[in-house]
Amino acid sequence: MENFPSKFKNDTKEDSFISVDEDFLPEDSIDENNNNTADNLNLFSKNNYNYDKINWNLIENEEEDYNKEMMIGPENNIGFEDKDPLFYFQLFLDENFYYYVSTESRKYFYKKCETEKNLNNYKDKLYLLDPLFIRKYIITILSMGLVDLPSYKLFWKKHPLFENFFVKSLISKKEFEFIVRFLHFESINIVHDKISKIRYLVNYFNSLWTKYSPFAKTYTIDETMVPYRGKLGIKQYIPNKPIKYGIKIYAIADSDTAYVRKWHIYSGKYDRKDTDNIVLELLEGVASYSHIFMDSHFTNFPLLEHLHKMDYYFTCSISKNKKGLPNKEENINLESNKIKAYRSGDFLLVKFKNKKLFFAVTNYYAHRTFQITEKCRSEEKQQEESEKIKYRNENQIEDKNRKQIRKPECIINYNLLARGVDKNNQLASFYFSNTRSVKWYKKIFLYAVEVCLINSYILFKKYNNSKISVFDFKLRIIEAMRDSIIEKKEIVSDKIYADRLKGKHFLEKNSENAQRQCKICSIKKIIRRSRYHCHACKISLCVEGCFKIYHTKKELKLI
């Protein structure tokens, strides 16, 4: 880890402000070629694909099982055993992260000061954007996920039903609101586009999630939604999703553990990459002979053939109206619980109808079927009761709520393994701190923090063979982060504006003889207004006592 700057410069100009050195950030997080122009993107295209070469032959009998070669990789995180939860969480949110967010937030504050002159009165609060307070903000956000209240303001309310002494001892409500207002992530190193305000963090987390991802043989590529109903050009509407309005995110996750390896924020029509190239982007760094599971949103035959040439196995659902499917007329008359299978070279296509017609295509499984037991739906229950059909389980106990059915092997495994991204979202949703925000990129940031926590939770369980719950894991991280702050005995100080202790300072009358709240009295929680202010600091102060204290005391918080 590189040496970090010990303190920020006193000059209030943006040019004199420190910048995050790219040397101590992950190399993959710095996307130098991210111009998003057609000339700079080497994209996969399916326009010239010849569908006539797909020749489907009907399979009459089941095929023999055959073993496919699977990549066996090393465990790339040797030495991660027997570590505390905070160790795994700090793999993703380390000191580099806090210094970067602090730097960009300060730049944003100075930028806002150019247009909103009244913000100059808040320059003495700029210490709240220090890395220490960014860390406190993260602790508070995680705590709000464990204690669900209708509004974040209730955490500081003086009422025995709501008052939270843990949060109040960590940060005040005004400090929290100040950080939320000026929290920013935009980097000057990135070309501005629709998601430039968060693109740097997307690349940053992608590099770290990929770096520490455990080896996996099966992966899931799926989409998820971050809820957002404000005015936004990249906002999506998906009617069949639980979250209908929001920002769409494509992600790849381990099918077994639900560890998210990489993500991509979809910017709608402004996104230069279609779903095919997004899939290939998510697969960068994934070992050959890995098994990929995708739903029909991503699946088409040009992409599948391209993945086959890249030595990837896949099992995907595919829409019935996709080009290249055989005998579309037969789909209408296919009877319930019937199976039809076709083969074209290494590709196997299976049509199965239970309540609805389902298509699956794979280059890994042979055509085999197995008898499984499923729960009956409400309509099926009524039909079984009318026909007096009784099913028995292994103990010979009557059970009308279950039935036996034969299903293709590829569909059985697809239902089991194509839920990696959904599992990660489910784990994050249990204690998700979704505070309200008008800024869309802050919603993405909160989602990324939760993914970091779930990924660290998965690593902790893997390397410590632990059965800890998400609640206990999150609680241990919160307590450890708070204890680390207390142990360091870091005192809040006004480091940025140390020049208030130097130079010449004189009292001046406010314009139009206006009265403003005294800064020192405000710290003491005393309501007292003054008609005078310091001509250099532009801070309202009482003539007696407060003016002297402000320009002689170093630690204002200790008054």
Which residue, 325, 387, 380, 386, is CA-closest to 357?
325
Q: What angle do CA 301, 302, 304 make, to 5 degrees?
A: 60
DSSP symbol at 395: T
Q: Stretch 132-158: mean pLDDT, rounded?
A: 89
* CB half-sphere exposure, 526, CA atoms < 13 A: 12
pLDDT exceeds cutoff 90 at 65: no
Residues 189 and 21: their CA atoms lie apart, in Å, by 11
Band (354; pLDDT cuts 50, 70, 90)? confident
Percentage of the residues of the chain whose pLDDT score is greater than 90: 22
Q: How far are the Cα atoms of 499, 514, 528, 552 from residue 548, in angstroms, in the given order?
A: 14, 21, 16, 6
Residues 251 and 542: their CA atoms lie apart, in Å, by 56
pLDDT at 71 (0 to 100): 59
pLDDT exceeds cutoff 70 at 469: yes
Long-range contacts of 501-504 (CB under 8 A, 24+ apart): 501/551, 501/552, 501/554, 503/536, 504/536
Which tokens sit at 120?
Answer: 């100059």
Contact criterion met (CB below 8 Å) for 214 and 76: yes
Residues 464 and 458: their CA atoms lie apart, in Å, by 10
pLDDT at 192 (0 to 100): 67
Q: Indicate the burial class of 461 (C-beta count within 10 angstroms; 0-12, 13-18, 19 or more).
A: middle
Band (373; pLDDT cuts 50, 70, 90)? confident
Residues 315 and 318: their CA atoms lie apart, in Å, by 10
Contact criterion met (CB below 8 Å) for 121 and 538: yes
SS3 359: strand
Question: 9-23, 101-115, 141-155, 449-463: lowest mean pLDDT where?
Answer: 9-23
Of 64 and 289, more confident? 289
How would you classify the pairing of strands 338-344 and 347-353? antiparallel
pLDDT at 454 (0 to 100): 94
pLDDT exceeds cutoff 90 at 236: no
Of 485 and 460, more confident? 460
- pTM equals 0.76
pLDDT exceeds cutoff 60 at 273: yes
Q: Stretch 57-83: mean pLDDT, rounded?
A: 71
Q: CB within 8 A of 320, min separation 6: which ones? A: 328, 331, 357, 359
pLDDT exceeds cutoff 60 at 424: yes
pLDDT at 460 (0 to 100): 92
SS3 51: helix
pLDDT exceeds cutoff 70 at 201: yes
Contact criterion met (CB below 8 Å) for 446 and 433: yes
pLDDT exceeds cutoff 80 at 439: yes
Question: 359-373, 489-503, 510-524: lowest mean pLDDT where?
Answer: 489-503
pLDDT at 190 (0 to 100): 55
- Domains of the chain, residue spans: 22-52+78-191+429-488, 498-558
pLDDT exceeds cutoff 80 at 366: yes
SS3 514: coil
Q: How far are the Cα atoms of 380, 383, 393 from residue 387, in angstroms, in the given order?
A: 11, 6, 19
Residues 318 and 300: their CA atoms lie apart, in Å, by 7
Band (69; pLDDT cuts 50, 70, 90)? low
**Which one-letter amino acid corresponds to residue 444?**
I
SS3 309: helix
Q: Stretch 374-390: mean pLDDT, rounded?
A: 54
pLDDT at 270 (0 to 100): 65
Band (86; pLDDT cuts 50, 70, 90)? very high
* Residue 320 phi, psi dihedral angles, 5° rounding: -70, -15
Band (526; pLDDT cuts 50, 70, 90)? confident
* CB half-sphere exposure, 500, CA atoms < 13 A: 25
Contact criterion met (CB below 8 Å) for 44 and 276: yes
Residues 286 and 312: their CA atoms lie apart, in Å, by 9
pLDDT in tens, 472-513: 999 999 999 988 886 554 443 444 445 677 778 888 888 777
Question: 10-14, 223-227, 231-235, 502-506: lowest mean pLDDT where?
Answer: 10-14
Place of tokens 């920002």: 247
